[in-house]
Structures are given as structure tokens and as C-alpha cells.
């Protein structure tokens, strides 16, 4: 999608906030604990490379991504720290990962068997670093049976020319919830699975942002620090942050057209808003093609520190707001962020859309340019 630099809608990223969020978490960790910054999905919509560079400056010792392509972008940008691909990578790409010193997640022995044949066809490759995933209750990827995990660990022991058994990990489904019953079941299963290994790999890790924030007793020698990098509470509003996180993303636009409508006039598709009296309507150049979802109709934006309602349905590229009075074209509009004494948070937007802030951040399309405030640290 073409980035639209020549319209007055943009995302602003506070790199200082990202630095502080990472740095203060790094300061809380034991000295021998690695912090891998999770920068998948274009760093949750914040920008892969700018965020990775700030995280490294703040003390991140490695990175987690979702796909091999994301890892290769980091390598191409001279990011030399360890990189772990959290998703399943096609076995056909094993040699590429090995050649670039990128660690891959493995969830079954057959993947390794096939990879061995492929890696042996390319002489001179370093061993491919792998992390075994354990499905302790997430139901997504990973080993569920001890016998299968043990057999795979033994396979890795006997194929050290092809593989470096670098890590083992699991992912918690409810680490961000008040009720810890299911969480404790997952902890117990993972510990039992690790206990059957003939030897522990270098990294044994369970901690996503939620676990690192609220279950510090479980932090081992690596945490996968994700949504908290961006100043967002992993639990939404269920749990209080142990220390302040500073949101890094704001979303701005401006009025590009202002008109007065009269009683009985309709606004947008379906004429879902009908004026009951004379009203001033402002049009903004942002819509659902930018990730500002159609279901945001009725939400408020901030103009001159005052809340103004989105009226009518959000269109693909534009939307309309009800103004308190006639305002000049070019007036700044805040969709996410602070204006005067008021603030619209990502969490508020997510609550209105009946979703989570992760989805709002990741859904802001690259058609919206990112502007970066400098990091002075």
C-alpha cells in the first residue's frame, strides 16, 4: 500500500517513550537475563527498524519476530544481535536462516529430519540454532507429549553438526489475567517437560510482557518483551502496571473541509446521522483503508482539547465529525493521544471497538506515514 505523505494524516512515534519502557524493564531484570525485544508485525505498527534501533540502544540484547522475512530485514539493516523467529518457518528455508545466524522455532522432530538433509546439501553452513516450542496450554504450536520432546532433544544431541539446540520455550495464554488457575497449570506442564531433557539448552524462556511484569519469579534467563515496549498494558485494564509505561504512538489528522448542514440533512453512507438542527461538520482524510475501522463510527476525536463525535459511517478514506462551531480548515485533530487536558488512549479506542489495543496498533496501515520524535537518551 502506498504511503500517503502528501495528506495531513500521520502517526507520531515517541522514541524516547520506547527507550524508557525498555530501559526500565532491563533495569529490573537480573544481570544475566537477556531481553529480546519483540518487533514482529512492523513492531506492532510502530516501525520495525526505528524501534529495533531504539530498543538496542535501551539495552535489548536480541529480537523476536514472527517470520523469517522480518528477521532478514533486520539482518539487512546490520542488526547483528540474536534473532528468534517465533512462528513456524518452512523447512525449505532452513539454510537461509543458518547462513544469517537466525534462530528458528521447531515444534516437531520431522522438521529437523528434513532440515538435516537440506542443510547437508550446503557445505560450510554454521549449525542452525533452534528453540523447541512447548505447547503447555496455548493450543497453538509446540510439543505436547514428553516422549516426543525427549526424542527430539536426543535427535538434536546426535546432530550437532547441523543444529545448535539453543533454547526451549512456552507461551502463556492467561498471564495477563487475575485468575491464575490456568496459568499455574501451564507453568507446571512446562516445568515437567523441561525436566525430561537430557540437558538444558542455553535459553529456557517463558516470559512475555505480561509474565515479566506480573510473574517475576518465573523469569529465567530470557524474556520476550513485547507490547509493553510500546507503552501498552498487556492486560488491558485487568491488572495494574508495576511501573508506569509510556504510550509511544499518537495518531493525528486535520480538518480538510468544513461545512454547515441543516435539519434533515444526512451524513455518510446509509444516512445514519440526520441533523436535527443546523450543524457544522468537518471532514478528515482518514478511513477504514487506513485501519481506522468502520466500527469507530460514533467514537470521539479531540479538536482544540474538546471531544467531537464521529458522525455517520466511517468511509474508506474519509470520515466526518460534528464540530462545536465553524472551525478553520487545517485545524489539528487528535485520534489517539493528548490534546490539552484530555487524552484518547489506545485502550479507549480498543474498548470502543470491542477489541484489544494490539489489534488497533497493528491495524494502522502503512498508508499512514510514521513521524519519529527523537530519542535523546
Q: Which residues are catalytic?
A: 40, 269
Could you tell me which residues come within 8 angstroms of residue 163 by beta carbon, excluding any fewer than 6 positions away?
Answer: 112, 115, 116, 127, 128, 129, 130, 156
DSSP, res 368: S
**Residue 37 to residue 13: CA distance in whole angstroms:** 17
Rg from Cα positions in the chain: 24
Contact between 156 and 118 under an 8 Å Cβ cutoff? The reply is no
- Nearest alpha-carbon partner for 111 in 92, 84, 86: 92
Task: Please return the burial class of 341, using the count of CB atoms within 10 Å of its CB with bins 0-12, 13-18 and 19+.
Answer: exposed
Burial pattern 189-199, b for ≥16 Cβ within 10 A else e, equals bbeebbeebee
φ, ψ of residue 273 to 5 degrees: the values are -115, 120
Contact between 206 and 213 under an 8 Å Cβ cutoff? The reply is no
Which residues is 250 bridged to in the sheet?
12
Q: Is 140 annotated as a binding residue?
A: yes
User: Which residues fall in the annotated binding site for substrate?
Assistant: 140, 316
Amino acid at each position: 500500500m502506498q504511503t500517503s505523505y502528501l495528506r495531513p494524516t500521520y502517526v507520531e512515534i515517541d522514541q524516547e517513550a520506547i527507550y524508557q519502557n525498555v530501559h526500565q524493564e532491563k533495569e529490573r531484570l537480573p544481570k544475566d537475563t537477556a531481553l529480546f525485544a519483540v518487533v514482529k508485525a512492523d513492531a506492532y505498527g510502530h516501525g520495525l527498524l526505528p524501534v529495533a534501533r531504539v530498543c538496542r540502544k535501551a539495552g535489548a540484547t536480541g529480537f523476536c519476530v514472527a517470520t523469517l522475512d522480518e528477521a532478514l530485514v533486520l539482518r539487512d539493516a546490520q542488526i547483528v544481535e540474536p534473532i528468534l523467529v517465533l512462528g513456524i518457518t518452512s523447512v525449505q528455508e532452513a539454510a537461509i536462516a543458518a547462513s544469517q545466524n537466525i534462530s528458528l522455532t521447531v515444534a516437531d522432530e520431522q522438521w529437523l529430519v528434513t532440515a538435516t538433509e537440506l542443510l547437508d546439501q550446503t557445505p560450510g553452513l554454521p549449525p542452525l540454532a533452534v528453540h523447541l516450542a512447548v505447547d503447555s496450554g496455548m493450543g497453538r504450536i509446540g510439543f505436547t507429549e514428553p516422549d516426543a520432546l525427549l526424542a527430539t532433544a536426543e535427535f538434536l544431541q546426535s546432530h550437532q553438526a547441523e543444529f545448535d539446540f539453543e533454547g526451549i520455550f512456552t507461551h502463556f495464554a492467561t498471564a495477563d489475567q487475575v485468575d491464575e488457575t490456568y496459568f499455574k497449570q501451564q507453568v507446571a506442564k512446562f516445568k515437567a517437560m523441561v525436566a525430561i531433557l537430557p540437558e538444558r539448552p542455553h535459553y529456557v524462556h517463558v516470559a512475555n510482557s505480561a509474565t515479566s511484569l506480573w510473574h517475576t519469579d518465573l523469569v529465567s534467563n530470557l524474556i520476550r518483551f513485547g507490547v509493553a515496549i510500546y507503552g501498552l498494558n498487556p492486560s488491558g485494564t485487568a491488572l495494574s502496571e508495576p511501573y508506569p509505561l509510556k504510550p509511544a504512538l499518537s495518531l493525528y489528522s486535520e480538518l480538510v473541509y468544513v461545512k454547515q448542514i441543516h435539519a434533515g440533512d444526512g451524513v455518510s453512507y446509509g444516512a445514519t446521522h440526520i441533523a436535527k438542527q443546523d450543524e457544522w461538520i468537518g471532514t478528515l482524510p482518514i478511513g477504514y483503508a487506513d485501519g481506522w475501522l468502520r466500527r469507530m463510527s460514533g467514537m470521539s476525536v479531540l479538536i482544540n482539547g474538546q471531544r467531537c463525535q464521529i458522525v455517520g459511517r466511517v468511509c474508506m478514506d474519509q470520515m466526518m465529525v460534528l464540530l462545536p462551531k465553524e472551525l478553520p480548515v487545517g485545524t489539528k485533530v487528535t485520534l489517539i493521544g493528548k490534546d490539552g487536558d484530555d487524552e484518547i488512549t489506545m485502550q479507549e479506542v480498543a474498548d470502543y471497538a470491542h477489541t484489544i489495543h494490539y489489534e488497533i496498533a497493528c491495524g494502522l496501515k502503512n498508508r499512514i506515514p510514521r513521524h519519529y520524535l527523537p530519542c535523546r537518551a
